Structure 1
Amino acid sequence: MKQAEKIRIQQEFKDRMDYDELLNCMRCGFCLPSCPTYIESGYDETHSPRGRIALMKAVVDGDIEPDEEVKRSLDMCLGCRACEPVCPSGVNYGHLLEQARDIIYQNKKLPFHIKAVRTLMFKEVFPYQNRMIGLTGLLGFYQRSGAQSLARKTNVMKLFPEHLQLMERILPEAPARKNMKNRPAHLEPAAPKRKKVAFFSGCLMDTMFLPTNDATTKLLQLAGCEIVIPKSQTCCGALHAHSGEKQDAKELAKKNIEAFEEDEIDYIITNAGGCGALLTEYNHLLDDEPQWNDRALRFSEKIKDLSSILVELAFHKQDLKLEDQVVTYQDSCHLKNVQKTFMQPRMLLESIEGAVYTEMKDAGRCCGSAGIYNIVEPEMSMKILDYKMEQARAAKATTIVTANPGCLLQMKLGIEKEGLAGKVRAVHIADLLLEAWEGGKK
């Protein structure tokens, strides 16, 4: 890191970091057992929450320079925020992490290829749904044209790192372009109306995971919800906020707030833990823009996860049935640690006839997906995944349920990595619940 960059970063740390929040950390160590990177790094304090906070404070105080080691420590963090619920001082670690990363990435000159990829994905693809549809369409062409079979037969995939080879194998089948284009804007309830909700459809969820979104809206209809799906909504901005692109996240937040202000609704429903967590924190994201404060707060207060509204509307008391199987649940970190949604998914799963629910040890520990973490930090991600798969094996699960697309892909990757394909499956909770509802009607 060049000296001029260090000076700029250090000054911005002094100007922008919440010093009171940094001082709020008592260094008690309660966070240590909850931090996957601290454990998997061999108990290295620089890869613990309190260690990272100490580094941030030292940069603000001028005791150390914001060098590559500081950046490395912050990059290694999953951002799972498991440290927050166990912190006796209530330190908002996730907010500190996002601010520190933003300062570094907005002031450090990145290698050309990394900057090009970041610009392409964060600024030119994720904010534009038509481009997400186009990208997913290319994946569909690759899968259906024979190119995928050819790539595997000719061992072309062996040119890529092992973790990327595994990822290629577990990518979901891309939906048809026409199905991604023809999305409903309004759906009537399929039972007596009890709520009017809006659905946050997301970018990846409404393209690569389109069947899960369809399952979600079907469940909401069956529970008695009238659904509006604003056409002008966009990417939630979570990947941007977590990756040092805070200004872009703020612009996306404003577009979403405007999109969902048009209708009088009870809740805004999400089915992706990572998206939902940032949506609930739009008021914090925009706390330095007074003209947006109240609007962001009203938006955030309406966010509710799919499992929460289904329990509220007693969907778990319907006839739900599956063929005999052992089911376990892998918490989405942000759903559990930020949205505080923990029991509702379990209540739903435990209500399914034929499904024997078994709690996995450390179900709330991060699976190692963490947005794009499993791509940019594969070694640590795979260590964390290996531990998670040990717990899934110990639970004797044949079905691993998740509530976030990244977690779903990571668990599928773990199944493939462990040679369990065909014996164990990973499934989003919305898809499993719809399968169980259909099973209950037979």
Structure 2
Amino acid sequence: MKISPETSQLLKVLPDDDILQQCIHCGMCLATCPTYDLTKLERSSPRGRIRMIRSVARKEMELSELFAEEMNFCLDCQACETACPAGVKYGRMVEAARVIVDEAGLTPKFQVFIKRFALRKIIASRFWLKFFSRLLWLYQKTGIQKLVRSTGLLKLFSKNLPEIEKLSPQVANQFSDTKIKEIELPNGEIKFNTAFHFGCLMNTMFSDINIDTIEVLKKVGCKIITPKDQACCGSLMAHNGDMEFALNLARKNIDAFLKHNYDYLISNSAGCGAFMKDYAHLLEGDSEYADKAKLFSSKVKDIMEFFAEEKIHLKFNDLTKLKIEPELERITYHDACHLVHAQKVSSQPREVIKSIPGIKYTELEEASWCCGSAGIYNVVRYKDSLIQLQRKMKNIRNTGAKVVLTGNPGCMGQIKYGAEKFDVDVEVLHPVTLIRKLLG
């Protein structure tokens, strides 16, 4: 197969030759890579994939099915970035490579069509996402779901489909954008001017977490601006080879938020926060949006990052008066990949959690090892994701914790599924949900 001329795009994300040579001869990333750990094949490691990307970019290697497979086999967890002493931005390279793979026709056209239709026409559209979410809500609430599961009908389409169907989160009774006012004020003094991104799936599937976030922010003195014309952050599209569409969504968010006055843009979803922080890099070549993107990204904070850096956890002293439920005492924490590796937010959530009086915190072994969710990876590569999930659930069981906290909806859904599948007695919560529960 001839190399597509679009491969020149890869040259833009490759580091200079000196850093590349250091990277290829180093290998510190190998011990952190879930796919290399699984296969022990060099091509399935970050170092191996970087070598392949470099070879394709320099036209030393043709695009191939093997190249496409390796780029899609990668979880894009970015654990290698945390381990890399040279600071190589591997995630940007593999995401650029996925764009090339789709453009070159190495992904089946029908698969690309389905993926892009779902992400562009449903996930990115608030109207259609809410419409299909309501259909899913009816499926879940009317007994149809139980009937379909009992008949084994889904096996007729795919042997893995019955399990993949269980990964779908429960749709909220009410969507958060209908309950959150465009401007929310605290009961007392305004201490912080904030904005809030309610997201796409967070809005329909995890509406309660968005409401918990607003209520806790109000309790600690935040004025919260939630623009109604905001858009999906674009992360799912970017991670799945549709970068230009993702950047259009980025521009919409920049326009929607920057017309308001705020100091912090609060995110409660690791994947969304990581991508919005990266707008500055992704749009640095856009003459109209480069400066605005830099300003926008500089204001983005994960909610636990915000709490820790502003010392808001000190406000929890009155929790000593509360009788904490026994099952809430034994707690552990799973690092969402795009929080710990992409945003470098690791100590802050632990700092906040440990500050809560009465909590018995146990550190999770391999806390920053990917759970296998990875956006839609657990759907499109179910078997591969299950191997990572089984490892994660074994470590969670070993803590003896009754609650596992994590700051990303994909991780929450994956670990909830794992708790049922591997019979682990644990409740999965977002940290802000626990905080609101304990604040009363």
Aligned to 2:339: 335
Task: Select 1:288's aligned residue among 279, 285, 288.
Answer: 285
% identical equivalent positions: 37
TM-score w.r.t. length of structure 2: 0.92
**SS in structure 2 at match of 1:84:** helix
Amino acid at match of 1:28: C
Aligned to 2:30: 32
Q: How does 1:153-302 map to 2 (within 5 A)?
A: 153-159=150-156, 164-169=161-166, 171-176=168-173, 181-302=178-299
Q: Does 1:103 align with 2:100?
A: yes
Question: 1:187, 1:108 → 2: CA distance?
Answer: 48
Relative to structure 1, the CA distance from residue 417 to residue 192 in structure 2 (aligned partners, 3 Å threshold; closer, same or farther) is same
Q: Which moved more, 1:396-405 or 1:61-70?
A: 61-70
Unmatched segments (≥5 aa) in structure 2: none
Amino acid at match of 2:240: S
TM-score w.r.t. length of structure 1: 0.92
Question: 2:201, 2:252 → 1: CA distance?
Answer: 17
Q: Does 1:44 align with 2:28?
A: no
Relative to structure 1, the CA distance from residue 416 to residue 228 in structure 2 (aligned partners, 3 Å threshold; closer, same or farther) is same
Amino acid at match of 2:257: F
Q: What displacement does 1:394 show?
A: 1.1
**SS in structure 2 at match of 1:226:** strand
CA-to-partner distance for each residue in 1:96-151, whole Å, 9 max, x for gaps? 11111112212326434313212311221122111111111111111122212222
Aligned to 1:121: 118
Unmatched segments (≥5 aa) in structure 1: none
Question: 2:169, 2:363 → 1: CA distance?
Answer: 26
Q: How does 1:77-88 map to 2 (within 5 A)?
A: 77-88=74-85
**SS in structure 1 at match of 2:77:** coil
Q: Does 1:370 align with 2:368?
A: no
Q: Does 1:351 align with 2:348?
A: no
Question: 1:309, 1:177 → 2: CA distance?
Answer: 27
Task: Select 1:397's aligned residue among 397, 401, 407.
Answer: 401
Question: 1:416, 1:101 → 2: CA distance?
Answer: 33
Q: Which moved more, 1:390-399 or 1:97-106?
A: 97-106
Q: What displacement does 1:327 show?
A: 0.7
CA-to-partner distance for each residue in 1:350-397, whole Å, 9 max, x for gaps? 233343110001101111110001111112211111111111111112
Relative to structure 1, the CA distance from residue 119 to residue 173 in structure 2 (aligned partners, 3 Å threshold; closer, same or farther) is closer
Question: 1:262, 1:9 → 2: CA distance?
Answer: 35
Question: 2:192, 2:160 → 1: CA distance?
Answer: 43
**SS in structure 1 at match of 2:60:** coil
Amino acid at match of 1:200: H
Relative to structure 1, the CA distance from residue 118 to residue 22 in structure 2 (aligned partners, 3 Å threshold; closer, same or farther) is farther
Q: Does 1:431 align with 2:429?
A: no
Amino acid at match of 2:346: F
CA-to-partner distance for each residue in 1:55-79, whole Å, 9 max, x for gaps? 1112223332111111111111111
Alignment size in residue pairs: 431
Amino acid at match of 2:421: K
Task: Check the 8 A contact 1:133/1:177 in 2, yes or no.
Answer: no
Aligned to 2:55: 58
Task: Check the 8 A contact 1:323/1:354 in 2, yes or no.
Answer: no
Q: Does 1:414 align with 2:418?
A: yes
Amino acid at match of 2:300: I
**SS in structure 1 at match of 2:301:** strand
**SS in structure 2 at match of 1:291:** coil
Relative to structure 1, the CA distance from residue 11 to residue 45 in structure 2 (aligned partners, 3 Å threshold; closer, same or farther) is same
Q: What displacement does 1:167 show?
A: 4.6
**SS in structure 2 at match of 1:400:** strand
